[in-house]
Structure 1
């Protein structure tokens, strides 16, 4: 795997670290494909939760502008979207494991939207989110126009996308864009604790929750009720459900195995 992405798997947790700190972890072709590879590795049974974070001062500054202004290296926007960013977003949403974005600094452009498509977004107090696209004559990509209006409402999403305002982590929490804003001193321990908690929970039930939430974006009420019934029956047939009920009756903490 490329050095632009670090992947560490321990105690059922995969930690994926964006590792181009000198350019604020901005994406080039190599890093985009390396992140896809890392997410594919997370499909395996030894992983039950994933945390994505960044090295250095930034989470991710989006696209590396040097790549797209280099006449020889520029892959073109069709490839950047269809081959680089869209597959990353799709992998995160399709992965049958919870994915936490631990936003350790500025998340801009595609970097912001990749963070926002994760299941849980935790940001350090000094972090910020910027839909920087309009500053250079582009539109939000990487599902920004899909998730933002659903998270914070059409009017607010439209203003943020067009004005390219810098949204502090605290503001992002207040408007429902992210789950939690945590002080810089407590951020990493908090993000790790939440990831560890998810890794010890009933993995198949979490995957089914994710599937239901994915489809709730476009389903009718009747379709969603039918989907909930299907996924609830699947969840009730897992070993973790049996363990959860047994532990409840025995008044003890359940020992979920992700099965």
Structure 2
């Protein structure tokens, strides 16, 4: 059984973490396979939105501790971070297509932080988020210390990381960790509706928006204004811009091609 399953339909690729017996926790095989699947989604022009979700009751419980406590299996933390999680986070942020985290259940440790690195986070009412690292004497990784303070503020992020509190889906929405909470019975239907909407929008403009957001993390105001100008000029040269303007003028629905 593959540890990641991939389904492409209606320009949306759904990548499902598929180790439900261990709450979709990462081992080396699954981490490397997720990177490969993200690379394939980036290269495939037929894919214009990406969903990452989990099979079974969990989204992802983070690192498989059995792997790191079994000497013949343990890659060591240097490899785990430099070859597993850091490349996953980098890929999610660098792919100039919208990446949606469909958090169907518990998201703990690296699993929580991978979700928070995505462009849109949608949580089932059954979902929860746990910065579980302090419970076993570790520090947060997978860019949690980068994204969480920016999403919810320094004080809240500090407390959640140090105390390791479980955050319910509703509380996560109130804190600004997630975009939307959806009832469990129509969770994937709503996720797919949002993904399909994004997949039919001007993909190039969405990708350039993502690039602007990435750069805003370290730019000065002047640097960000300059980059906005540069990327606005680039987006105005796209086929989708021409289509969008023509559709607006002629009062019809645009048919964007992602170019």
Partners of 2:16 and 2:186 in 1: how far apart?
19
* 1:8 match: 7
Shift of residue 56, structure 1, vs aligned partner: 0.1
Encode CA deviations 1:32-75: one digit per residue, 9 max, x unaligned: 00000000001121110000100000000000000000011100
Supply the RMSD in Å over aligned alpha carbons: 0.7
Residues 1:114 and 2:114 are matched in the alignment: yes
1:182 aligns with 2:190: no
Q: Secondary structure at the match of 2:100?
A: strand
1:218-257 map, 5 Å: 218-257=218-257
CA distance in 2, matches of 1:143, 1:11: 31
- Spell out the pairing of 1:35-54 with structure 2 (5 A cutoff): 35-43=34-42, 44-54=44-54
Cα distance in 1 between the residues matched to 2:40 and 2:9:
13
Give the total of aligned pairs.
Answer: 258
The equivalent residue for 1:135 is 135
| Aligned ranges 1:24-39 → 2 under 5 Å | 24-39=23-38
Task: Identify the residue that residue 57 of structure 1 maps to in structure 2.
Answer: 57
1:136, 1:230 → 2: CA distance?
Answer: 46
> Partner residue of 2:105?
105
Give the match for residue 21 of structure 2.
Answer: 22
Once the 2 structures are TM-superposed, how far is the Cα of residue 186 of structure 1 from its aligned partner? 2.2
Q: Secondary structure at the match of 1:140?
A: coil
Give the distance between the partners of 1:31 and 1:183, measured in 2 at CA: 28
CA drift of 1:185 comes to 1.4
Instruction: Provide the rounded CA distance (Å) in 2 between the counterparts of 1:182 and 1:163.
Output: 27
Gaps of 5+ in 1: none
Please report how far the alpha carbon of residue 10 of structure 1 lies from its aligned counterpart in structure 2 after TM superposition: 1.7
Residue 62 of structure 1: SS of its match in structure 2?
coil
1:201 match: secondary structure: coil
- TM-score, with length taken from structure 1: 0.99
User: Residue deviations 1:110-162, cap 9 Å, x none?
Assistant: 00000000000000001100000000000110000000000000000000000
Displacement after TM superposition at 1:189 (Å): 0.8
The aligned residue for residue 206 of structure 1 is 206
Deviation at residue 28 of structure 1 after TM alignment:
0.1
1:75-90 equivalent positions in 2, closer than 5 A: 75-90=75-90
Question: Equivalents in 1 of 2:200, 2:91: separation in Å?
Answer: 22
Shift of 1:104: 0.4
